[in-house]
Amino acid sequence: MSNYNIITTTSTPRIQRFGKGGAILRSNSPLSDDAIRQAAPSIFADGKHDSRSIRYTYIPTSEVLGMLRKEGFQPFSVQQGGSGDEEKRAFTKHMIRLRHESALDLGVGSTFREIVLVNSHDGTSTYQLTAGLFRLVCLNGMVVGEGLMESVRVKHVGDVGQMVIEGCYDILQRLPEVSESVREMNDLTLSQPEREALARAALIARYDDPADAPIEAPKLLALNRRDDAAPTLWNTLNTVQENIIKGGTRYVAENKNGKRIRRQTREIRGIDQNVGVNRALWTLAEEMKKIKAQG
């Protein structure tokens, strides 16, 4: 019997659209093909882009998703990237976040273990699989950094579907490592200077040059809910990650005429930047954990 009923929702998931063809759809229950198609039609691309060679094995992501469903992997979130090239929008990069019935609630703040799948049919991406975490209270997804678990990449050559399934099982078997790391983070208390150091490093991961950041690091530590008040490494990571990824932090800037105006930091919507920043944040937290362990 499926255990997904413990996280069903009565509300209808809404598609968040942005850019030129970009969209995000998240749900607390498994997504149907009809819902996915409305948000991320490139998952159902009916062929490869003309730029791909004859060696390119074309299997639509939707077909691979069907194979994964038979293995117990269910999609809870999809995202499609935008493209300035209208011709490529039907083949553009997309991301699916999957959960397996054997690895549901992590038991730390309603956090669910996931497998993140990224693919495209325009040559910009192989199949990429990595571990992820989804925190229900903030509807925000995290991607585990390479330091703890290497991602699995599958080229569009050969028996792609079977190789993706094997990759998902490989990550699934290693999810207990992620769970243990989260528990360790949850048991570590950080000093205020340590929390601010993590926030400063997060700004670099987001903006490259700290001088380009419109806000100071302490702004990333602003709480979004009381349950995150304890200064643990896990709470700090989640607070910083949510503020970086979702944006919305208010600040004052000057326009070209020198007039002071109120603005908000932008949400990260690009798939590559989302995955990249998430991995960097996770790696930062892992390094902080090692430093604390050394005393």
User: Do 157 and 225 belong to one domain?
Assistant: no
Q: In one letter, which amino acid is 110?
A: S
SS3 284: helix
Confirm whether 187 is domain-assigned.
no
Confirm whether 42 is domain-assigned.
yes
Span 166-203, pLDDT tens digits: 999 999 998 888 889 999 999 999 999 999 999 999 99
User: Do 234 and 283 belong to one domain?
Assistant: yes
User: Do 40 and 97 belong to one domain?
Assistant: yes
Write out the residue range of the structural domain in which residue 13 sits: 4-174
Please give the pLDDT value at position 196.
95
Residues 132, 145 contacting (CB under 8 angstroms) = no
What pTM does this model have? 0.84
User: Do 196 and 163 belong to one domain?
Assistant: no
User: Do 41 and 147 belong to one domain?
Assistant: yes
Nearest C-alpha neighbor of 83 from the set 127, 137, 125: 125
CA distance 17 to 27: 15
Number of domains in the chain: 2
Confirm whether 236 is domain-assigned.
yes
User: Do 166 and 24 belong to one domain?
Assistant: yes
Span 277-289, pLDDT tens digits: 999 999 999 999 9
Confirm whether 183 is domain-assigned.
no
Q: In one letter, which amino acid is 165?
A: I
